[in-house]
Amino acid sequence: MALRHVFVDMDGVLVDFVTAALDLHGRSDVLADWPLGERDIPKMLGLSAGEFWSPIHSAGDRYWADLAPYDWTFKLVDLVREFAPFTILTSPSLDPGCPAGKVQWMNRHLTSGRRKRFR
């Protein structure tokens, strides 16, 4: 059975949200001992949700636009594209700059000058 469409998540699949968030909080040290499958970053940092998101929201769209792609991001997209059309899924945070920053990231990394990396 051929795939008709593939959905690829952005945060945690194409971009390294966790490392950037930990760096912003000055807590990159916790990544080495991160429990497998743990997704509650504020809990792991001993922060409330508001304390966790505040510096991210203060950084505005630049935070999202400047997230680092994983080493495998472009290979993954190339592979997915071999099998079917794809859509990137993402959920914005409550910050108005988040959607704009995510679109900037996609434009920078998945179109124009980067297009040659894709088939």
Q: What is the pLDDT of residues 52-100, one digit of tens each?
A: 999 999 999 999 999 999 999 999 999 998 889 999 999 999 999 999 9
Asked if pLDDT for residue 117 goes beyond 50, the answer is: no
Looking at the DSSP bridge assignments, the partners of residue 88 are 8
**What pLDDT, in 10s, does the model give residues 27-61?**
999 989 889 989 899 999 999 999 999 999 999 99
Burial 44-55 (b: 16+ CB within 10 A, else e): bbeeeeeebbee
The predicted pLDDT at position 113 comes to: 52
The predicted pLDDT at position 116 comes to: 44
22 closest CA partner among 10, 8, 12: 12
* Cα angle 50-54-55, degrees, rounded to a multiple of 5: 145
